């Protein structure tokens, strides 16, 4: 007897060409039933495979208590692991990378704070404390931490719907800190409970659409600073924004502001183009925003353009992060609102960070622990909420610059953080005459790459349903709101999962000429049907959600085939073979559906035969006594064995 075999073994068995030998004809392989596990062992193995597939405690086996403590400490703080091999060469690379991303993050942070409807210093605060925490606890060497455009816009839009940031600045600030706290709690909880797979429910296509829509929304929001409009809509949908833009065209635009913004946007785009053409000049687009801020600030100061209507930053509070523990809402009407907004923002931030971390880890051929990343992100945002920071996560633009600048470890985040704190302590007064127009130009330049037309085109080619999810999220963000776009993205992703689960694919199989291989007749038109035998493959586990559909679909295949055989005067269908290799599991509803299918077939005088059920499936078929119902001699290891057993005459005629 031979038990369950892997795909390669099955292929070797089935792809032998020619007629089987007489010895093979006499011996038919049967499907073995795996040894029965005890209930506790079965539950234990199921839980381990679901929540601990990477076996995180493997390194703790057979270790002393002291060694376990050391390994546990290193697991929580990876810096203690890679720090042992740190050297001056790595430090040099990290310093260069840290200084480079600092020059990029400072102007970006000031702009992103405005997206979140916060004073500019809060963007800088969020690039000081969170990167330090992440450097201690994160497992990615390349990710650069700080505020990002999409999360800033999401927070700004959702919080503005609850509290007006202009009239109730203090309550607004308290609510954003509360949302940041709960974002961190959400992220850390997902990591500790090893529930990171939940973020995978937001499909890649939905993320592409959501990010593209958010990028366009962010760019449209910057038209206020770009055009010098004073009275601008607080809504984010494209119709409201366009009405606000063109409604103020006659008297609301400021030509000096437009000249400054357009000139420096062209400079930033040229710098980005230069960096893309020549990888050695990666530092050009990285330092271009800071150069733009310095030059535009000098220009406004020397010409006193602020007297001509050019809006300026005016004041950035000097000093490092003040504590904000007492500002968090732990009771009252804003507690639940902060919780709701924090969960949404935390999930979006986590999705972006994990995707960025995995991308650069793959490029450098190392592994990151997704659950450790979630805990690190969560802790840094919880601590951040207590030190006047709002939600921070991995920034793709900064991480790309960090990678290109030659970063070696997370020390580059520490270097960036130190530069930011020096800026907060000594340099912020110099930003007084920085025009808002340059911040708008920097943000437009930063988010333009989030519109990934190549990815959207590829999604259209590969999967039309994925493209619907992509466009649904994209249009939802643009025409309604960021929250609505996110809701549409999640809803369509779930709809796709439900559709695939409830309506699995099935296929008719035929025999490939001169082999004993049976494959989908639509994929292989040369495959021939076996007279008197209908072979169907089910490409999914059989659960309560799809069992009735699978039964009805197989019966429809049977009815269609019987009509064809009558028209062509072929042999009547006598056997129905169900190829069960792709069926990874089956529940009681699935077994009940098979029983009903068997009953329907018996009324038609057709014998049901199963081919290659897996270990889980065959165990349940025996436990339910369904194997005895159809007969042990009607369950085979391969489709070829099943066909050969139906009738020697059929086999000889093929």
Which position has the token pair 């069992």? Answer: 547
Label residue 27 by pLDDT band (50, 70, 90).
low
Q: Residue 576: which H helix or E strand, with range?
A: strand 575-579
Q: Compute the average pLDDT of residues 413-427.
A: 94
Mean pLDDT, all residues of the chain: 87
**200 phi and psi angles, rounded to 5 deg:** -75, -10
CATH topology of domain 3-15+23-36+503-649: Transcription Regulator spoIIAA (3.30.750)
Label residue 173 by pLDDT band (50, 70, 90).
very high
Q: What is the pLDDT of residue 389?
A: 97
pLDDT, tens only, 271-311? 999 988 888 888 888 899 999 999 999 999 999 988 888 99
Global pTM value:
0.79
pLDDT, tens only, 429-468? 889 999 999 999 999 998 888 888 999 999 999 998 889 9
Q: What is the pLDDT of residue 6?
A: 41
Angle at 642 between CA 637 and CA 645, to 5 degrees: 125
Label residue 492 by pLDDT band (50, 70, 90).
confident
Bridge partners, 608 (sequence order):
576
Q: Give, as one character, the DSSP assignment of residue 143.
A: -
Nearest partner of 576 among 603, 636, 536, judged by Cα: 536
Give the Cα separation of 240 and 232 in Å (integer). 10
Nearest partner of 179 among 237, 117, 137, judged by Cα: 117
Can you give the three-state secondary structure of 597-627, one letter per residue? Answer: HHHHHHHCCCEEEEECCCHHHHHHHHHCCHH
Give the Cα separation of 178 and 133 in Å (integer). 19
Q: What is the pLDDT of residue 270?
A: 94
Give the Cα separation of 534 and 529 in Å (integer). 8
Four-residue CA torsion sign, 352, 355, 358, 362: negative
Label residue 109 by pLDDT band (50, 70, 90).
very high
Q: 3-class DSSP state for residue 270?
A: helix
Is the pLDDT at 108 greater than 70? The verdict is: yes
Q: How many residues does the chain have?
A: 654
Bridge partners, 636 (sequence order):
30, 611
Q: Compute the average pLDDT of residues 597-603.
A: 93
From the number of C-beta atoms within 10 Å of its C-beta (0-12, 13-18, 19+), residue 548 rates as middle
Q: Which residue has the higher pLDDT, 57 or 170?
A: 170
What residues contact 84, with CB distance under 8 A and at least 6 apart? none
Label residue 263 by pLDDT band (50, 70, 90).
very high
Is the pLDDT at 499 greater than 50? The verdict is: yes
Q: What is the pLDDT of residue 9?
A: 40
Outline which parts of the chain fall under CATH 3.30.750.24: 3-15+23-36+503-649
Bridge partners, 586 (sequence order):
542
Label residue 648 by pLDDT band (50, 70, 90).
low
pLDDT, tens only, 368-417? 888 888 999 999 999 999 999 999 999 888 898 888 888 999 999 999 99
Q: Compute the average pLDDT of residues 323-347.
A: 93
Bridge partners, 506 (sequence order):
538
Q: What is the pLDDT of residue 531?
A: 87
């Amino acid at each position: 007897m031979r038990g369950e075999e892997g795909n390669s073994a099955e292929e070797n068995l089935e792809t032998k060409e020619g007629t089987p030998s007489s010895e093979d004809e006499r011996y038919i392989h049967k499907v073995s039933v795996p040894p029965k596990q005890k209930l506790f062992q079965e539950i234990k193995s199921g839980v381990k495979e679901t929540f601990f597939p990477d076996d995180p405690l493997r390194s703790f086996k057979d270790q002393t208590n002291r060694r376990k403590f050391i390994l546990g400490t290193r697991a929580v703080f990876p810096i203690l692991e890679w720090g042992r091999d740190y050297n001056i060469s790595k430090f040099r690379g990290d310093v260069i990378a840290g200084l480079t991303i600092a020059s990029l993050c400072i102007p970006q942070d000031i702009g992103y704070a405005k997206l979140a409807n916060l004073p500019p210093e809060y963007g800088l605060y969020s690039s000081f404390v969170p990167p330090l925490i992440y450097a201690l606890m994160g497992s990615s060497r390349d990710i650069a931490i700080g505020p990002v455009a999409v999360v800033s816009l999401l927070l700004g839009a959702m919080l503005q719907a609850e509290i007006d940031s202009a009239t109730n600045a203090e309550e607004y600030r308290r609510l954003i800190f509360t949302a940041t706290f709960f974002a961190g709690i959400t992220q850390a909880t997902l990591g500790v409970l090893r529930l990171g797979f939940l973020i995978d429910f937001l499909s890649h296509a939905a993320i592409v659409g959501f990010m593209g829509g958010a990028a366009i929304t962010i760019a449209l929001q910057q038209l206020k600073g770009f055009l010098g409009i004073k009275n601008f809509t607080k809504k984010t949908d494209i119709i409201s924004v366009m009405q606000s833009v063109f409604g103020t065209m006659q008297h609301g635009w400021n030509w000096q502001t437009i000249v400054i913004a357009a000139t420096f946007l062209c400079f930033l785009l040229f710098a980005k183009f230069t960096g893309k053409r020549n990888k050695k000049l990666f530092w050009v687009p990285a330092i271009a925003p800071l150069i733009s801020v310095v030059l535009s600030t000098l220009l406004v100061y020397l010409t006193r353009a602020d007297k001509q209507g050019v809006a300026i930053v005016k004041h950035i509070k000097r000093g490092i992060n003040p504590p904000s523990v007492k500002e968090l809402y732990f009771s009252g009407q804003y507690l639940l609102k902060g919780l709701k907004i924090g969960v949404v923002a935390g999930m979006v931030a986590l999705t972006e960070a994990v995707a960025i971390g995995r991308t650069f880890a793959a490029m450098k051929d190392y592994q990151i622990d997704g659950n450790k990343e979630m805990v690190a992100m969560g802790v840094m945002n919880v601590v951040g909420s207590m030190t006047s920071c709002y939600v921070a996560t991995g920034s793709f633009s900064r991480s790309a610059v960090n990678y290109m600048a030659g970063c070696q470890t997370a020390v580059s985040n520490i270097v960036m953080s130190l530069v930011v704190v020096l800026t907060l302590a000594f340099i912020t007064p110099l930003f007084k005459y920085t025009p808002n127009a340059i911040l708008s130009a920097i943000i437009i330049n930063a988010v333009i790459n989030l519109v990934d037309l190549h990815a959207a085109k590829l999604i259209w080619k590969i999967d039309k349903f994925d493209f619907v999810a992509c466009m649904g999220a994209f249009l939802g963000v643009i025409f309604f709101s960021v929250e609505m776009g996110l809701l549409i993205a999640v809803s369509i992703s779930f709809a796709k999962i439900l559709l695939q689960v409830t309506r699995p694919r099935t296929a008719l199989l035929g025999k490939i000429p001169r082999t004993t291989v049976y494959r989908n007749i639509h994929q292989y038109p040369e495959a021939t049907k076996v007279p008197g035998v209908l072979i169907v493959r089910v490409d999914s586990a059989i659960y309560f959600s799809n069992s009735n559909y699978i039964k009805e679909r197989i019966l429809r295949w049977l009815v269609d085939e019987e009509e064809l055989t009558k028209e062509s005067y072929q042999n009547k269908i006598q056997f129905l073979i169900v190829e069960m290799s792709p069926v990874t599991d089956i529940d009681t509803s699935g077994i009940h559906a098979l029983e009903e299918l068997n009953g329907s077939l018996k009324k038609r005088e057709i014998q049901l035969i199963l081919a290659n059920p897996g270990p889980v499936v065959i165990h349940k078929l025996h436990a339910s006594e369904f194997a005895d119902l159809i007969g042990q001699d009607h369950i085979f290891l391969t489709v070829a064995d099943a066909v050969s057993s139906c009738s020697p005459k059929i086999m000889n005629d093929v």
